[in-house]
Structure formats: structure tokens, C-alpha cells
Amino acid sequence: MLALAIAAVMTVMGVWQLGVYRSKTADATAQRAAAPPVELQSLFSIDEGLPSKAVGRRVTIAGTWGPAADQVLIADRLQDGRAGLWVVSPLKLSGTDAVMVVRGWVASPSDPAVTAPSGPVRLSGSVVASEAEDSSDDAAKGRVLSSLRIPTIVHLVNYRVYDAFVVQSAVDSGAVPSPAPAIVAPPPPPTDHAGLRNVAYAVQWWIFAAFTLWMWGRMVLDAHREPHEDDPDSGDRAAEPVEPSGTVSA
């Protein structure tokens, strides 16, 4: 019974360590999303791929809206239970560098809010990564795409774009088009796997618990085993005839 109690304590310790990992992970993920906004260029450069630490971060960007012809729509997007499209417009930062901005949601491609803005602007939003689904075939048919992907959009514009999107949350300065697309909530930030050491500790505790139960099981089996079971020759000796201890004379 002592072994069972020890194994139970070890199992609980493993569960506790796993809980610590989950708590640290949730805190780290929440801190990333709640961190004060920073300039997009301070997180990574246009010559880099999108680093994981930048996904979900709030940023500010300033520039001039790009040509209306470079605007694209992303189909099959829900907003308050209604199907519609995301409006994605280029924002030129400097020279030939730009970032694609998800300005918001519209009900249809003919919605007046689709009209591309112009002029200088400073806005804030959240960094999101490209989606996995390939939409390169859609690009050959028009400006309505099935997924939000930088690898598709780079072939539709004549300037360099960041390997990320910014989902607009507010216009800090500059003209706000009217009507404007409905603001969309950015996808939840990816899980920040903090405290992986605690997962290793949890696995160690569970291994110790399993070993304790295995040892206890061996001891129980040994205690209930017949003595002759440990001697492979005992059965042969039992089958041998017993020689008489002496002879009887006539």
C-alpha cells in the first residue's frame, strides 16, 4: 500500500507540473497580445521571414496607401455570423517597401466600403501570418482570393511587401474613408510555449510513478510464488525414485 501511495503522490506531482506549464504558456501568450504597440520595422525587416515572436504583436505603421488596383479581397470570411470578404490594401512605407493591411470586412465586392483609400495614414493593428491554403490559382482569375497569403500577393504587385499582414484595429491619424469596412478581430495569437522544462519534470514524475508500481508488482509476485518455482531442477528431483536406505537379509 505504501508503494501505491508513493506512486499516487508522484502522479499528482506530474499533473501539478503540467498545470504550471499551462499557466506559464497562457500568461506568455496573453502578455504578447497585451504588449504595447511598437513600430512594425522594429520587430523584423522586410528582408526577413516573419519571426514567430512577431505574430500576434500589436504594431503601428505609417505610410501612404498604395494604388487601388493592388487591393485584393479575401472570400468566405464570417462577421457576426454573416459571410463576406476581407478588404486588403497595400500601405507603402518607404520607397518600394509596403505592408498589406486587412482594413476590414464587407458583405460583397460591390459594397461601397471596398473603395480603396488614398493619402498618408498612421494606423495600429496586429501582426498575422499567411494562411496555409494555397490561392495561387485564384490570382489568375481576378483579385478575389480564397486565402490570405503573402506568397500569392507578391506576384500581384510591383513592390516589395513584408512577410506578414497587419489587421487594422484603428486609424490613429489621416483620412478615414466613409463608408469604411467593418473592423475585424485578428486571429488569436499562437500559443507561446513557455515553461517547457515543467513538461519534462511532469514526464519524469510519471516515469518514477510507473517504475514504483512495476517494482511493487514484482514484489507481490515474488511473495506469492511457490518455493520450487525458483528451482528449475526441483521437478526432476521429485520424479526420481527414492533408493532404500538398507537391505533386509533372508
pLDDT by residue (tens digit) across 38-75? 999 989 999 989 888 888 889 999 999 999 999 999 99
pLDDT by residue (tens digit) across 16-47? 666 655 665 555 556 666 678 899 998 999 99
Domain boundaries, the chain: 1-34+193-220, 56-174
Q: How far apart are CA 218 and CA 49, in angstroms?
A: 55
- Residue 154, C-beta contacts closer than 8 angstroms, at least 6 positions apart: 161
Angle CA 167–173–175, to nearest 5 = 90
Q: What is the pLDDT of residue 88?
A: 96
| Average of per-residue pLDDT values in the chain | 80
Strand partners, 101: 89, 166
Average pLDDT of span 102-107: 95
Q: How many helices (H) and strands (E) does the chain have?
A: 6, 8
Contact 100, 153 (CB under 8 A): yes
Q: Residue 250 gets which letter from DSSP?
A: -
Q: How far apart are CA 74 and CA 106, in angstroms?
A: 10
Q: What is the pLDDT of residue 207?
A: 83
Out of 8-12, 19-23, 54-58, 143-147, pick the least confident. 19-23
Contact 166, 59 (CB under 8 A): yes
pLDDT by residue (tens digit) across 169-218? 999 887 788 899 999 988 776 555 555 666 676 677 678 778 777 777 77
Average pLDDT of span 222-228: 68
**Domain 56-174, CATH class in plain words:** mainly beta
